[in-house]
Amino acid sequence: MEPSELWSALRDCEVSMAESSNGYNWKFCTIGGVTRVKITSGDDIAHLGELDQKLWTVLSCPVKGLEFDERTLALMDTNADGKIRVNEVKAAAQWLTAVLKTPEGLLKQEDVVDLDALNQATPEGLKVYQSAKQILKNLGLEKNQISLAEASDSVAIFAKTALNGDGIITVQSTEDADLKATIEAILATEGGGLDDRSGLKGADAALIEQFYTDCADYKAWKAAGTDEIFVFGDDTAAALDACNALKEKVADYFMRCKLAAFNSESASVLDITAARIGELASLDLAQCNEQISAYPLARVTGKQTLTLDCALINPAWQDAFSKVLKLAINKMFPGASAITEAQWGEILAKFGPYTAWMEAKKGAAVESLGLEKVEAFLKADRKAELLKIVEDDKALEAESAGIDEVEKFIRYYRNFYKLLKNFVTLSDFYARDPANKSVFEAGTLFIDQRSTELCIRVADMGKQGDVNDLSGMCILYCDCTCKSKPEKMTIAAVITQGEVDDLRVGKNAIFYDRQGLDWDAVVVKILDNPISLRQAFWAPYKKVRRAISDRINKSVSDKNAKVEADLTEKANTVDLTKPKEAPKEGEAAAAAKPAMGGFDIAKFAGIFAAVGMAAGLIGQALVGLAEGIMAHWYNLPLLILGIILFISGPSMFLTWLKLKRRNLTPLLNANGWAINSSILINSAFGPTFTEYAKYPRVTMSDPYADKGISKGWIAAFVLLVLVAGGLIFMHCTNRMHLLTDWMMPTVTESAPAADAPAEAPAEAK
C-alpha cells in the first residue's frame, strides 16, 4: 500500500469518543493493532491540556538525538532536564493558543507568520506582536509578516541599537568620546570583554568595577616602589634576571671549589680536563654549545674565589657573566678581580626588597596601559556614568525578552504540530510518508541487497540488554563513522523482510542519514528474531541441511585427520636402514591367505534372505500407498500437504505468534523514550520498512552460468522413477509374485533318506 493510501485509511478509520466528563469529543483511530487519539484540528490542540495522560502514546522523549529542531526542544524543556514531558507539551500548547487568534494555523507548519494572526487581546499575544513589530523596525523592514530567519538573527536585530537589554555595553552604547575610550581600555585589558547581542564585544557592570579596581591597585603598588627597593636603579629588574640566569652555575662552581679544597687529589676530576675537550675536537665546536655549557663555570684550582676576568670564564657562559658583571658585581664591588661565595650571596640578598615588592604586585591587568594612562582614568572617574549606561541597558531586558519570545513563537508555530504527531499519536510513523518520517527515524541502511528505513540512534548500548526478548524484532546494531563529520554514532536497524543467512557481525554496510550524508556502517551485534512466515516455512529444512552438512564435514574432517595421523606414525616408525628379509614359507602362505577368511555360503544365504525380506516390506508399503492413491487421486496432494504441515507447521505457527507481538516500544525505551502504549509492527505493516532490490527479467544467456544437472543424472532419476512405478503396477495387477520368486532363492527338493517312510500312493494322498 502506498503511503498516501495508508494515511487515507488511517483517516477513514477514525471514530468519535462519547462525550467525556470534560465536555470535549476526541477522535480516535486504530492502526497497527492499537487505538490512538487523533490530533487533526486547532480545537484538538486548544483542548490538549484536557486529554487524559493515560491516552498519550509518549510520556517523554529526549531533547537530543532526534530528527527534529533541537532549538525548539530546548525552548520547551523548561526545567532543562534533557527530556520533553507531557506537562511541558501541554504548557506549550496553552501558550500557543493564547498567542494566536485561532490555532488552526499550527497545522500548516510554516515558518512565516502574519502579524494579524496574533491575538492582541491577550497579554501573551500582545507581547509577541509588539516585539515582532520592534524586530521589523530594527531590521528596517516595513511589512506585516515576520519569518523565523528574521526573528532569530539577533546580530542583525541589534546591530544598529545602542542598548539591547542584555546588560552589556559597547562603544556604540554612548556618543561620548572619553567614555568610548574608557570602554576600549576595559576591553583591551580585561580579557577582551563579553559578547553583546549586537555581535560586538562589550563590558558589563562587573567588568567595569574590576577595571577601576585594577587601576587603583596598580597605582598604589607602583607608589610603593621606593629607591630602597630599586637597589640598582632602573637596571634592577635586568640585574635580577641576569643573576637568576647564572645563579645555579655559580653555586655549582663554588661547590666544586669546596670539594677540591677538601681533597686536593679530586681537583683534576672536578675541573675540566683536556681529554674531555679532546672528545669534541673533531666536531664543529660552534654547534657544541650545549656540551660546553655543562663544563664548570671557571677552572677549579682549589681557590674558593670566582675570577671576574671574562676570558677565564667558560665560553658558553661568558655573555651571561658579562651582564652580571656590568649590572651588579661592578656596582657593589668596583675594581675587584674576584669575588667569594659570601660576596655573591650579598649580591643576591640585595634583591630581597625588590623581589617582595614584585610578588605583591596588584592590578597587573592594566599594566600594559602604563602608569600615566591609569592615573588619567582614575582622575577622570567615569565609572558611575558607565554603570548608569549598563542600568539603562538592563531596563530594556523585558523588551529584549519579548524579542526572544518571537523566535520561540515562530519555532513553535512551525514545529509544534509535528511534535504532536510524534508524541500523542505517532501518525508520522504509521503514515510512511517519505517526506514526513517520524522524529526517531535516523535514516536508511543499505545492506545485503536491501534497504531498511527503521533505523534509530542508540544513545547507550549498555541499556539494550532486554530489547531482544521484549521487542521480538530482528535488529542489526551498527557503528557508523562519517568522513565529513568528526563524530561516531550507533544505530539500531530493524530488518522486516528477507533472509538473515548472510548477515553477520563485522559485515560492512552504508548508512544515509536524514540530511543525505553517507556513513560507513559496521554490524557489531545482531538480535536474531523471526522476520516472516516465508522464512519460518523454510527454516526446518535449512536447519536439517546445515545439520547434515556439519555432520558430513565433521566426519570427513575426523577421518582425514586419522588417516594423516596413521600415515605420519607409520612413516616415523619405518626403519629404512634395516634390509628387508624374505618371508618364510609358512609366513608367505599366511600372508597370501585372504584377510576376510573363506566364503561362508550359510552367512551369505542369511544376508540375502534379510535383504529379500526388507525389499518385500518396502514393496508392501509402496503397494499400500499406490492402492490408496489409485483409489482416490486427491490422497497424494493431501499426503504431501500433511508432510509439509508436519515439518513446517510448528515453525510457522510460532513465528506467526511472534510477528503479532513484534513491538518497537522496548527499543525506544532503551534509547531514552517513555512510551505509554505498544507500537506494534505486525506482518502487514513490517514490510513497509524494508525493501529488496528488484531486477528486470534478463533474456541474455550467461556464458559463465553453472551448467546444472548433467543428462546422465537426469536419465538415472527417470529410470528410478520408472522402476518404482513398475513395481507398483506389478503388484496392482497381481504380478508381484514374479518379482518375489526371482528375488528369493529356489530350494531344490532332495531324495528321501533311506530310513524315511515311503511316500504314500497318490490315491492315499
3-state secondary structure 488-509: EEEEEEEECCCCCCCCCCCCEE
Whether 712 is in a domain gets the answer no
Q: Is residue 574 part of a domain?
A: no
Structure confidence by residue, pLDDT tens digits, 383-402: 999 999 999 999 888 778 88
User: Given this model, what pLDDT does residue 283 score?
Assistant: 81
d(CA 174, CA 332): 56
Selected residue with higher pLDDT from 192 and 601: 192
Is the pLDDT score of 657 beyond 50? yes
Selection from 4, 9, 8, 40 nearest residue 424 by Cα: 40
Q: Which of 406-410, 567-571, 633-637 has the lowest mean pLDDT?
A: 633-637
Q: Is the pLDDT of residue 111 over 90?
A: yes
Quote the pLDDT of residue 325.
Answer: 92
Same domain, 412 and 312: no
Least confident segment among 199-203, 344-348, 486-490, 637-641: 637-641
> What integer pLDDT is reported at residue 287 of this predicted model?
84
485 or 344, greater pLDDT: 344
pLDDT band at 762 (very low <50, low <70, confident <90, very high): very low
Residue 366 pLDDT grade (very low, low, confident, very high; cuts 50, 70, 90) = very high
Return the minimum-mean-pLDDT range out of 148-152, 194-198, 270-274, 577-581.
577-581
Residue 536 counted as domain residue: no
Q: Is pLDDT at 350 greater than 70 in this prediction?
A: yes
Rounded average pLDDT over 146-157 = 88
Q: Quote the pLDDT of residue 753.
A: 46
Clarify whether residues 10 and 47 are in a common domain: yes
Asked if the structure places residue 603 within a domain, the reply is no
Residue 212 has pLDDT above 70, yes or no: yes
Does residue 318 share a domain with residue 213? Answer: no
Q: Are residues 9 and 98 in the same domain?
A: yes
Q: Tell me the pTM.
A: 0.64
Same domain? For 385 and 474 the reply is: no
Co-location of 130 and 35 in the same domain: yes
Domain shared by 183 and 257, yes or no = no
Cα–Cα distance, 534 to 530 (Å, whole number): 10
Single out the residue of 648, 651, 655, 652 nearest to residue 474, CA to CA.
655
Confidence of residue 548 (pLDDT cuts 50, 70, 90): confident
20 plus 121 within the same structural domain = yes
Residues 216 and 109 in one domain: no
pLDDT at 121 over 50: yes
| % of the chain with per-residue pLDDT over 70 | 77
Q: Give the model confidence (pLDDT) of 69-90 as tens digits.
A: 999 999 999 999 999 999 999 9
User: 312 and 409 share a domain?
Assistant: no
Residue 35: all three cell numbers together: 487505538
d(CA 10, CA 18): 20
β 145-147/112-114 pair status: antiparallel
Examine the domain organization and report whether 500 and 517 are in the same domain.
yes
The whole-number pLDDT of residue 595 equals 46
Instruction: Residue 90: give the domain boundaries.
Output: 3-148+403-431
Please tell me the least confidently modeled range out of 69-73, 598-602, 704-708. Answer: 598-602
Task: Give yes or no: residues 472 and 522 share one domain.
Answer: yes
Structure-model confidence comparison of residues 545 and 744, the more confident one: 545
Question: What pLDDT, on a 0 to 100 scale, did the predictor assign at position 754?
Answer: 45
Query: Interhelix angle for 86-99 vs 397-423, to 10°?
Result: 120
Residue 762 lies in a domain: no
Most confident of 478-492, 568-582, 719-733: 478-492
Higher-scoring residue by pLDDT: 134, 638? 134
**pLDDT reading at 374 higher than 50:** yes
The residue ranking higher by pLDDT, 219 or 277, is 219
> How many domains, in total, are found in the chain?
4
Q: What pLDDT, on the 0 to 100 scale, is given for residue 699?
A: 67
Cα–Cα separations (whole angstroms), residue 428 to 117, 425, 453, 669:
27, 8, 13, 19
Asked if residue 328 is part of any domain, the answer here is yes
Per the domain annotation, does 465 fall within a domain?
A: yes
Residue 18 lies in a domain: yes
- pLDDT category at 693 given cuts 50, 70, 90 is confident
pLDDT for 267? 77
- Given a contact cutoff of 8 angstroms between Cβ atoms, the answer to whether 167 and 205 are in contact is yes
**pLDDT score of 614:** 55
Taking a C-beta distance cutoff of 8 angstroms, is the pair 491, 670 a contact?
no
Confidence check: pLDDT of 344 > 50: yes
pLDDT in tens, 285-294: 888 888 888 8
Better-predicted residue by pLDDT, 17 or 367: 367
Does residue 689 surpass a pLDDT of 70?
A: yes
What pLDDT does 761 receive? 46
SS3 1: coil
